[in-house]
Amino acid sequence: MRRENKKRLLVALIVFIVVGGLVAAFLLAEDYFRVENVEVIGAERYTEDEIKDMVMSGRLGDNSLFLRLKYSDKEIKDIPFVEKMDVKIDDPNSITINVYEKAIAGYVEYLGHYMYFDKDGIIVESATEKIEGIPFVTGLKFDHCIMYEPLPIDNKDVFAEILSLTQLMEKYDIKTDRIYFDRNMDITLFFGDARVFIGNFDNIDDKMIRLQYIIPKLKGMKGVLHMENYSQDSQSDYITFKTDE
């Protein structure tokens, strides 16, 4: 009986030592692999803290070893306006999060929602709130919107034009209230009560370069600024302003 008790005691002691060692090793490892430095690359529509919260969630979210196992050969998807994210473990205390955002061209309103589309006109997101920095596009004719399908309009080339126009406005720090396409697909930009008739895409870069200097002068004005015939060669002779009656 004594021999059996000693045997049980020995087994219990061994188990205790092993478990204690594992716990101690885990605690030491947890401290050793604690992430202290995080670099976020490519995020514009989310803050760095928002990206960190998405990636480093849960009990061991700040443990680089756990993150390595969790995101090994795995991309993070299903995040609004983000194509994918990947996590790189630089060292036990440092990680890099690469964010690849969707190229959003603009958005339209449909049944109380804002439907965001890419350069191919494909609806990539639906939201109940407007996202800062993405242009509101009006004048396009469609009778339905389906997620992950192209906006059903006849002229598909307009989506690439919208993206190019958006990129030019961002380049020259031009912020418009909305972009309007008429039946001929000519463009009008709205700035409060002032409108700028751009016309077609001819000389669009020249028009945007000049427009950036004109916008401050439009404040408080009501009417249409005609730039449809402007080019760098033609200069200001082809820019006129017609006041609303």
Residue 113: per-residue pLDDT: 92
Q: Are residues 233 and 118 in the same domain?
A: yes
pLDDT in tens, 92-147: 899 999 998 888 888 999 998 999 998 888 898 888 888 877 889 999 999 899 98
Q: Are residues 63 and 121 in the same domain?
A: no
Residue 89: per-residue pLDDT: 87
Q: Give me the chain's average pLDDT, please.
A: 84
Confidence of residue 11 (pLDDT cuts 50, 70, 90): low
Q: Are residues 55 and 164 in the same domain?
A: no
Is 68 within a domain?
yes
Return the higher-pLDDT residue of 236 and 196.
196
User: Which of the listed residues 101, 124, 144 is the one where a domain comes to its end?
Assistant: 101
Is 206 within a domain?
yes
Q: Are residues 79 and 175 in the same domain?
A: no
Q: Are residues 57 and 111 in the same domain?
A: no
CATH number at residue 160: 3.40.50
Q: Are residues 138 and 191 in the same domain?
A: yes
pLDDT in tens, 136-164: 999 999 989 998 899 998 888 888 888 88
pLDDT in tens, 41-74: 998 888 899 999 988 888 778 888 888 888 877 7
CA distance 200 to 54: 42
Q: Are residues 225 and 132 in the same domain?
A: yes
CB atoms closer than 10 angstroms to residue 17: 10
CB atoms closer than 10 angstroms to residue 44: 9
- Please, what sign has the CA dihedral across residues 131, 137, 241, 222? negative
Is 11 within a domain?
no
Is 149 within a domain?
yes
Q: What b/e string do you get for 99-126 counting C-beta neighbours within 10 Å, with b at 16 or more?
A: bebbebbbbbeeeeebbbbbbebbbbbe
User: Which of the listed residues 101, 118, 141 is the one where a domain comes to its end?
Assistant: 101
Is 209 within a domain?
yes
CA distance 59 to 61: 6
For the segment 182-197, the average pLDDT, to the nearest whole number, is 93
Residue 80: per-residue pLDDT: 79
Question: What is the count of structural domains for the chain?
Answer: 2
Return the higher-pLDDT residue of 75 and 158.
158
Global pTM reads 0.67
For the segment 73-77, the average pLDDT, to the nearest whole number, is 76
Residue 211: per-residue pLDDT: 93
User: Which of the listed residues 64, 83, 101 is the one where a domain comes to its end?
Assistant: 101
Return the higher-pLDDT residue of 198 and 34.
198
Q: Are residues 124 and 216 in the same domain?
A: yes
Is 3 within a domain?
no
Is 86 within a domain?
yes
Q: Are residues 76 and 193 in the same domain?
A: no
Number of H helices, E strands in the chain: 5, 12
Residue 15: per-residue pLDDT: 65
Is pLDDT at 3 greater than 80 in this prediction?
A: no
Helices (H), ranges, 72-172: 158-171
CATH number at residue 57: 3.10.20
Q: Are residues 121 and 161 in the same domain?
A: yes
Range of the domain at 195: 104-243
